[in-house]
A and B are shown apart, each in its own frame.
Chain A
Amino acid sequence: MNDIIVKSITRLVIPFLQLYGIYIILHGHISPGGGFSGGALIGSSLILYTLVFGVDRAQKKFSHRVSEIAESGGILLYLFVGALGIALTGNFLSNKAAGFPLGELGSLLSGGIIPVLMIGIGIKVASTMITLFHVLIQEESQ
């Protein structure tokens, strides 16, 4: 696509989309939304980038190695937080029982492990969405 209007609008819109996605992930525990929706939003912003600027440029920005690390990393973060629960004399994925600080109700830094897990899910979902799209649209000959 070589449309200057589309390109400039995309350039303009994508930061806002991503910012909104990050906002949704970070505020997942105090407002509607969370890791899934925020991650999907970030993923779709990257899909939009791919649609407008092509796969090659998108893959330079978000290479295969990065996505591999992000995919494993998202779950490993989740597992690590869960295992901390065991280490801190609780059960797997314990929150209050393992002694994580819950913070003040309704503030951004509250909920113990919940925001951390939300971030892990968000990373995972975003990277999954974009990788799946790249793999699906890439032609055999490349």
Chain B
Amino acid sequence: MIVLNVMIVIFLIVAALAIERTKDLLSAVIIFSVYSLMMSVLWLILKTPDVALTEAAIGAGVTSILFIAVISRTQRYEK
């Protein structure tokens, strides 16, 4: 289990850095959604199913949709 844990942590850090680097906001949001989903998987591994469920529904689902809704009304690219 520890191997999976370490892998997900590395993935999360890489995803966070990717969000920081990406100039295309839409891609950043999609990476963010994946990041949230991986986070909820990690929390499932750490035996907190309630929080994982909430994070999957709210963090990965609703937040990303709201981000996309706003990006569609504003700019897509960061300068």
Interface residues of A (CB under 8 A from B): 24, 32-34, 36-37, 40-41, 43-44, 47, 129, 132-133, 136-137, 139
Contact = CB atoms under 8 A, between A and B. Distances in A.
Contact of B50 (A32, A40, A129, A137): A32
Given A36-B58, A40-B58, A133 B53 contact: no
Interface size class, chain B: 10 to 19
B54 A133 contact: no
Given A32-B49, A33-B50, A133 B57 contact: no
The secondary-structure label for the interface of chain B is helix
Interface stretch (B11-19, B30-38, B62-70): B62-70
Contacts of B49: 32-33
Nearest to A130: B62
Interface in B64-79: 65-66, 69-70, 72-73
14 contacts: A32-B49, A32-B53, A33-B49, A34-B50, A36-B58, A37-B50, A40-B57, A41-B57, A129-B62, A132-B66, A133-B65, A133-B69, A137-B69, A139-B73
The secondary-structure label for the interface of chain A is helix
Nearest to B44: A32
Contacts of B62: 40, 43-44, 47, 129, 133
Contacts of A40: 54, 57-58, 61-62
A70 to B, nearest CB: 17
Nearest to A41: B57
Given A32-B53, A44-B61, 15 more contacts: A32-B49, A32-B50, A33-B49, A33-B53, A36-B57, A37-B56, A37-B57, A37-B58, A40-B58, A41-B57, A43-B62, A132-B66, A133-B62, A133-B69, A136-B70
A47 B65 contact: yes
Contacts of A34: 50
Contacts of A33: 49-50, 53
Nearest to A140: B73
